Structure 1
Amino acid sequence: MPPPAEAPGPAEGTPAARTADVCAAAPLLNCLLREVAEPLPGPDGSCSGGNGRHVYRLLGTGRLLRVRGTRRPAEPEVRAADGWRRLGHGELVALVARELRLRTGLANDELPAEMTDSRDVVAALLTARAHTTPPPGLHLRSEQSLITGHPHHPAPKTRGGGPPAGWLPYAPEAYARFPLTLLAVREDLVVEEGDTSALDALAAAPPGYRLLPAHPWQLDLTGPALAPAFADGRLLRLGTTAFEAWPTAAVRTLYAPERDLCLKFSLDVRITNDIRRLWRHDLLKLRRTDDAAVKAFEAMDGPAAWLSDRGYRTASFAFEELAVLVRDGLGGHVLPGATPLLAAGLAEGFPGSPLTGAEDPAAWWEAYLGAVVPPALTAFADHGVVLEAHAQNTLIAVDEDGMPVQALFRDAEGVKLLPDVERAAGWERLVYCLVVNHLTETAAALAEHHPRLDPWPAVRAVLARSALPEAHALLTAPTLPGKTNLLLRWTGADGADARYLPLPNPLAG
């Protein structure tokens, strides 16, 4: 069942509230330590202050900060005159804001509010989960597993600052599912491109109209602006679908298993770096970008698959607000007997994940890399297609024993084509998405569960087998590009404006 519409967060000081603080602090600390801090070596040169803690100097104020752990840093403390003082989540937000004001010379009231909202969203999600049944099957469970979310974003779970009643019924992390709202748009006002026939199969539209499904949350957000169109008959309400759709990790992308139907909607809410609309400029270039990706994967000799964004439909008077994109379902793409799992879900963890239960983690990791890395490199080298192969856009299909056998990639909106972007910029983007965002995180999760495994020799081996010169150069490069999500949001940069700072390259070790 869907989560309750009202799900107040847990009381302060309860185990659930403390869990929310930990989940929200980890990605914020990751950003702070990556972008505006420097590690300080301990007595043994390990950057450890003892007791499993790591010490950093903040570059704005010069204050010392120490945390426990590395992949998911926790228990932040600042150095005071009388020793180390523990920071609560609110104090951590204030500390980050002070650092960024000094570091950039800019003020920003919006981002601290998003950091706080992100924490409160996690608290509401945890409360809702306690009263909701997880989705059936590992695929949907992996898509709806991301309580922590993006590991290097200051506010990965923000939902626009609204009360839980507005967004919780549509939250994948709370195991939501719901029917789609069915609209009809006057035929002469329809704008569409590509194959949208799956939309017409949802219901019968009245004469002179075409069917246009809508995300109910988006209708709640844009309702006043659309009222005139409903009043004069440009739009009609036809009810809802007889089936339910499940929101995936991207929140605005829904999957209906019984129809094998995947639809992506506009959502006028900031999630991570962007307001999640289907922007006109992206839709107008969709066919060219998606066609290039389709052709690249058709030419590959292997099981890797591209989930095509085959077409979109909208209304001319609300082009972005009501746009819906039709994406390939899983049928016909996933190997027989295999189960697709979200790569980000494997890194985050969920009950039944094969990452945690791998009997031979080295063999599992080699199979994972063999499924993911070669197709991403081939698309770039042979076809000039720069996949946004980060962990949320990559599905890993596993066989009945949990071994990876196939990778499936999605989201033409994030794909770049050469020579629209310079080759060096395209390669930097691919390295960030595939290696830094995706493989580094999955490797760290695997090593946490299987401490004897060093995951990086296998990554070096799969890159060394490529004929791509850039892949070989990556093996000796001193640094990798790390995206600066904290500074991007603080300075108000465009969400698509990726800026990078150099990170130590584990491949060169």
Structure 2
Amino acid sequence: MHLPDTPAEEAVAAELAAPAGFRPALGPAYASALPGARAAVLTRLWRALACEPLPWVERRERGSTGLALRLVSGARLEGPLPDPYATAPYVTELLLDGRPYRHAAGLVSALGVAHGEEFAAELDGSTASLALSRAGRPAGPDREPRTTWEWEQRIVDGHPYHPNCRSRPGFTVAEQLAYAPEHRPRVTLGLAAVPIAECLVAGDWPECWREAGRILVPVHPWQAEHVLKLGGPPGPELGPGPSAHPLMALRTLSPADGGAHVKTALSTRLTSSVRDISVYSVETAAAVSAFAQSLAERLDGRLHITRTLGAVTAHTPDLAAVLREPPEAYADTGAGERVLPVAALALTHYARSAPWRAGFARLALSVCLRALDLGVALEAHGQNLLVVLAADGIPRRLVYRDLADIRISPARLAHHGLPVPPLSGRLITDDVTALRRKLFGSLVAGALGSTAGSAAALGADLAAAEPDLPRTADTEALLTGPLPAKALALMRLSPGVPGDQWAELDNPLALS
């Protein structure tokens, strides 16, 4: 049996061993999952170290079998040749001045860089939580999911490239088992009763969540306990809400009785961001949703965008919620159509078929590049982007959800004679680099890359799709230049720098 040997690994093992009566059989499975989890997080970290513009990396020396990083401290870090699009763990050990490191957290601590200890603690937690997630997978063969939420709960490993793929600070083991989608729980939401005068409401908030001059705001139970301290004076009353299935975003849930998906505030940092809901997002929700519907109408039925049905905030990002149309609304289930999040495609046999992947890449790129040309950059990563599959598995249409972080170009809209929505703030930009980074970084370096699973496979997919793509300046930039990707580790090591930071990855078309 593999033993835990870091603080986070030991803490999870201790909680599993405690006589609390929950999932006692997970202890041995957790220990067995630790080596694989360590390699998975170390592989993601090596991608960042090898590719991101880290200020303490002086130069990179590429050999025939490996890569060496010369650090400004004079140290030398060695590892295998990196594949920035690989999803299978291929790094089990890195050498720092000849000393082997098999734990991402231990390596970052040894590097001695600014904010490294905080990042190392996150990596330790990510590794332990990933092992716990893998330990919770059902033993033996598992039937194919029948619903979109079941597909989402099959995604055990989280973000395919982020070293903090399973970082869940503030969650105990019991809370991960109770709330995390990969453990397949049902979560009972709370309903916080807030006077209407103290709320900002957008769209149509349902009558069933209104009572006696108050708005009932759905609240995640973790948020209620740890952040809002609801249920007692002097805060809002908290009553029982619907039972729901957590989706891969964890704080967004699909009610067990059907209906709108519920996006809740969860004020803790998962991967890179704190998952609260800004007042700005609620203020703009209705206008952005209406604008997005008008955009979808110009894309020949190949893209559907889930409508924001209603949004509410008690004028704080910690107490807010969004109701969103479920993606299944855009599938003809009677004809055998299914809707899968793109992040789940790697779990299917389709991802192992080069012709299928090429067809999917052709659909996704042609639709999203056309939207970009019209003036909208979608953040089309594997969580936000879903695909409608015909009964025979052919990708037919795309569904996009969560409009909170798209980018809209007034100049491009005007160029095409399209109305500019009445919006301002962070969603609005005409900066070409920002627009392309938003789409290319999420769709190509993210969704398509993780579906392909390697640089060579992604390059082949792009080459096969290229003849059918719209001939625009954006397409030319995509096919000929380096690919942008969020510098995920650099962002965690730069807490004082606001906004996204970026790396440039080798364009995999060069391998085709």
Give the TM-score of the pair, scaled to structure 2: 0.81
The CA deviation at 1:114 is 0.8
Separation in structure 2 between the aligned mates of residue 343 and residue 5 of structure 1, nearest angstrom: 36
**Counterpart position of 2:185:** 176
Q: Deviations over 1:291-335 (max 9, x none)?
A: 32221102221232111223202335xx32221101111343224
**Counterpart position of 1:391:** 382
Which of 114, 119, 140 is the aligned partner of 1:111?
119
Q: Deviations over 1:453-482 (max 9, x none)?
A: 9323124334xx3032221233222x1212
Separation in structure 1 between the aligned mates of residue 357 and residue 138 of structure 2, nearest angstrom: 33
Question: Quick check: 386-395 or 124-133, which moved more?
Answer: 124-133
**Counterpart position of 1:57:** 69
Change (3 A) 1:100 1:303: farther
**Counterpart position of 1:326:** 323
The CA deviation at 1:446 is 10
Q: Deviations over 1:217-242 (max 9, x none)?
A: 21112243774344xxxx3333233x
**Counterpart position of 1:27:** 44
Q: Deviations over 1:194-250 (max 9, x none)?
A: 1222xx346xx54333332221121112243774344xxxx3333233xx3111111
Which of 459, 463, 466 is the aligned partner of 1:457?
463
CA RMSD, 1 decimal: 3.1
How many pairs were matched up? 462
**Counterpart position of 2:407:** 416
**Counterpart position of 2:195:** 186
The SS at the match of 1:454 is helix
Q: Does 1:94 align with 2:106?
A: yes
The SS at the match of 1:429 is helix
Which of 396, 403, 415 is the aligned partner of 1:405?
396
Q: Contact 2:136–2:182 at 8 Å: present in 1 too?
A: no
Separation in structure 2 between the aligned mates of residue 163 and residue 491 of structure 1, nearest angstrom: 27
Q: Contact 1:335–1:406 at 8 Å: present in 2 too?
A: no
Q: Contact 2:33–2:132 at 8 Å: present in 1 too?
A: no
Q: Contact 1:267–1:275 at 8 Å: present in 2 too?
A: yes
Change (3 A) 1:438 1:59: farther
The SS at the match of 1:249 is coil
Identity, % of aligned positions: 26
Which of 498, 501, 506 is the aligned partner of 2:500?
498
Amino acid aligned to 1:265: T
Q: Contact 2:154–2:344 at 8 Å: present in 1 too?
A: yes
Which of 479, 483, 486 is the aligned partner of 1:475?
479
Q: Does 1:74 align with 2:66?
A: no
Which of 348, 358, 362 is the aligned partner of 1:370?
362
The SS at the match of 2:319 is coil
**Counterpart position of 1:51:** none
**Counterpart position of 1:207:** 212
**Counterpart position of 2:239:** 238
The CA deviation at 1:98 is 4.0
**Counterpart position of 1:251:** 250
**Counterpart position of 1:489:** 492
Q: Does 1:426 align with 2:426?
A: no
Separation in structure 2 between the aligned mates of residue 65 and residue 446 of structure 1, nearest angstrom: 21
The SS at the match of 1:110 is helix
The CA deviation at 1:13 is 9.7
Separation in structure 2 between the aligned mates of residue 456 and residue 249 of structure 1, nearest angstrom: 27
Q: Deviations over 1:63-102 (max 9, x none)?
A: 2422488413321131666xxx54231xx3232244361x
The SS at the match of 1:302 is coil
Amino acid aligned to 1:367: G
The CA deviation at 1:487 is 1.0
**Counterpart position of 2:5:** none
**Counterpart position of 1:218:** 223
The CA deviation at 1:184 is 2.8
Separation in structure 1 between the aligned mates of residue 441 and residue 196 of structure 2, nearest angstrom: 43
Separation in structure 2 between the aligned mates of residue 281 and residue 257 of structure 1, nearest angstrom: 29
Unaligned runs of 5+ in 2: 1-15, 411-427
Q: Contact 1:303–1:407 at 8 Å: present in 2 too?
A: yes
**Counterpart position of 2:11:** none
The SS at the match of 1:475 is helix
Change (3 A) 1:239 1:129: same
Give the TM-score of the pair, scaled to structure 1: 0.81
The CA deviation at 1:22 is 2.5
The CA deviation at 1:417 is 1.1
Amino acid aligned to 2:233: P
Q: Contact 1:385–1:418 at 8 Å: present in 2 too?
A: yes
The SS at the match of 2:280 is helix
The CA deviation at 1:491 is 1.3
Q: Contact 1:218–1:267 at 8 Å: present in 2 too?
A: yes
